[in-house]
Chain A
């Protein structure tokens, strides 16, 4: 027996809202499976389970906000799976129901229009693959569609519903079936307004969510929860952390030439972008200057043995998340590039995994393509440093006493004066510069 609890998805998280269960009682889960979707103040995150076994009781209903550490489900790691889940309760549960109330099949509460023969996990899988479940033959008990039925069904390629990320989030939190909506955007893309219109219709409104209750212009308002969460965290950082700032301009001629050369012989899918080289060099530099890689805890600096590089990703429509690239220092460059692509796209579609949000040890903010030369950031507590990277731009540089034009980048460091001083910070920036002069070793 194991408990599945509300995880801490970042240093600043106290509570989270369960958006959806992707499993139901009786489902078999393996460690690492995504079992629930949780919304924090900053984003929607897919949460994996840390145990293998059979899902027992689900203790928290979708729509409920609970503190970190709250028991949300029981996972039975014993051999015998319990009897199949009883028929789902027809009445959808209210979001405000007490958390102690046991629910047998909460997944159905969010999408009452779907048939009862598929579990949320299966539906999720089908949605990801763009498969219409009504066309899948169920091989499980009573015609139940199992995970392997879906896995063995070829995806119908362009069937995936076209919807904006905000629309997806709204649909998810308000229990609207996207595939049943008609999009009014370009090419039939479903926009947030379409989802709101659907939630306004009483018949399809099942779970009252914070998103749905928000006025249409929510993203533009200062009350946007992500903005409030960022504001609170950054105010704390500015108040508590004595920052110092350093800046240096790095010549990227060698690195860019190497990258261009390498990319020329590769298909698009294997090409690198400058950000990948920059991130890798920061990660390696962090290993060389461990005084800046770790946490400030209880009046002391605690270095981290591993480098988990936080990557600040700006979200369309506002907001910011900083998921972590685990082992960025030891990961080969092509893998880092692939991971980065996945991380950014999942961050923007509100589909980050819990394991990707767990405490970074050093964050990089890369405003690379937005045209600024340098960015001086605010440290993300409890970290002690933040590296800012500006745009890769052509600048005049002196080489061997001659003036020439090279691609360059301005790297900055904001660091915590309680944990280090300028000389240490300078070593980090110098290390980044040195590493970028030997791109083939990254």
Chain B
């Protein structure tokens, strides 16, 4: 998956998890958990959906890297293009 594809997918997942969320309005390096007022259950739903769509395990220790669009896109791109 290239970076652009990853970004599209991440935004889709975000809008699914937080109905009405405006993913296009998020700055790439902004913490979207704060911006979208996601609580820990919302974030877990996001991780769950992202894991389902990408096939990545997304261990809890990697959560800190997954708070921003940039962080998520880099993460997904680097893990999915290795194989």
Could you list which residues of chain A lie within 8 angstroms of chain B, going by C-beta atoms?
A: 162-167, 185-187, 189, 191, 260, 263-264, 267-269, 271, 273-275, 316, 340-341, 344-345, 349, 368-370
Judge whether A368 and B20 touch: CB under 8 Å: no
A12 to B7, CA, bound (A): 46
B30 within 8 A of A: no
Judge whether B60 and A271 touch: CB under 8 Å: yes
Judge whether B47 and A187 touch: CB under 8 Å: no
B48 within 8 A of A: yes
Q: Which of A162, A269, A368, A369 counts the most B-chain CB atoms under 10 A from its CB?
A: A369
B80 within 8 A of A: no
Q: Given A162-B16, A187-B15, A260-B60, A268 and B21 touching (CB < 8 A)?
A: no
B11: chain A residues within 8 A (beta carbon) = 186-187
A345: chain B residues within 8 A (beta carbon) = 41, 45
Judge whether A162 and B44 touch: CB under 8 Å: no
Instruction: State the majority secondary structure of interface residues on A.
Output: helix
Can you identify 28 A-B contacts, CB atoms within 8 angstroms? Answer: A162-B15, A162-B19, A166-B20, A167-B20, A185-B22, A186-B11, A186-B15, A186-B21, A186-B23, A186-B24, A187-B12, A187-B15, A189-B19, A189-B20, A260-B61, A263-B59, A268-B44, A268-B48, A268-B51, A268-B57, A271-B60, A273-B40, A273-B41, A274-B40, A368-B39, A368-B40, A369-B33, A369-B39
Contact pattern, B 43-71, Cβ under 8 Å of A = 1, otherwise 0: 01101100100000111110000000000
CB distance from B67 to the nearest CB of A (A): 12
A349: chain B residues within 8 A (beta carbon) = 19
A340: chain B residues within 8 A (beta carbon) = 41
Could you list which residues of chain B lie within 8 angstroms of chain A, going by C-beta atoms?
A: 11-12, 15-16, 18-24, 33, 37-41, 44-45, 47-48, 51, 57-61
A288 to B18, CA, bound (A): 38
Q: Given A187-B15, A271-B60, A316 and B20 touching (CB < 8 A)?
A: yes
A167 to B20, CA, bound (A): 9
A316: chain B residues within 8 A (beta carbon) = 18-20, 37
CB distance from B46 to the nearest CB of A (A): 10
Judge whether A275 and B47 touch: CB under 8 Å: no
A39 to B51, CA, bound (A): 36
A135 to B44, CA, bound (A): 35
CB distance from A342 to the nearest CB of B (A): 10
Q: Given A185-B20, A187-B12, A189-B19, A268 and B58 touching (CB < 8 A)?
A: yes
Judge whether B40 and A163 touch: CB under 8 Å: no
A268 to B39, CA, bound (A): 16
CB distance from B33 to the nearest CB of A (A): 8
Q: Which of A186, A268, A273 counts the most B-chain CB atoms under 10 A from its CB?
A: A268
A165 to B23, CA, bound (A): 17
A189: chain B residues within 8 A (beta carbon) = 15, 19-20
- Which of B24, B33, B41 meets A344, CB within 8 Å? B41
CB distance from A355 to the nearest CB of B (A): 21
A341: chain B residues within 8 A (beta carbon) = 41, 44-45
B59: chain A residues within 8 A (beta carbon) = 263-264
Q: Given A187-B12, A268-B51, A268-B58, A163 and B19 touching (CB < 8 A)?
A: yes
A432 to B52, CA, bound (A): 35
Q: Given A273-B40, A275-B41, A263 and B60 touching (CB < 8 A)?
A: yes
A271 to B58, CA, bound (A): 11
CB distance from A78 to the nearest CB of B (A): 43
CB distance from A364 to the nearest CB of B (A): 14
Q: Which of B18, B21, B40, B57 counts the most A-chain CB atoms under 10 A from its CB?
A: B40
B45: chain A residues within 8 A (beta carbon) = 341, 345
Q: Which residue of B lies closest to A165 (CB)?
A: B19
Judge whether B41 and A271 touch: CB under 8 Å: no
Which 6 A-B pairs have CB atoms at the shortest separation, nearest pair first? A164-B20, A369-B39, A273-B40, A268-B48, A164-B19, A268-B51
Judge whether B61 and A273 touch: CB under 8 Å: no
Q: Which residue of A lies closest to B21 (CB)?
A: A186
Q: A263-B60, A268-B44 are in contact. List 20 more A-B contacts (CB 8 A).
A: A162-B15, A162-B19, A166-B20, A185-B22, A189-B15, A189-B19, A189-B20, A191-B20, A267-B57, A271-B44, A273-B40, A273-B44, A316-B18, A341-B41, A344-B41, A345-B45, A368-B39, A368-B40, A369-B33, A369-B39
A263: chain B residues within 8 A (beta carbon) = 59-60
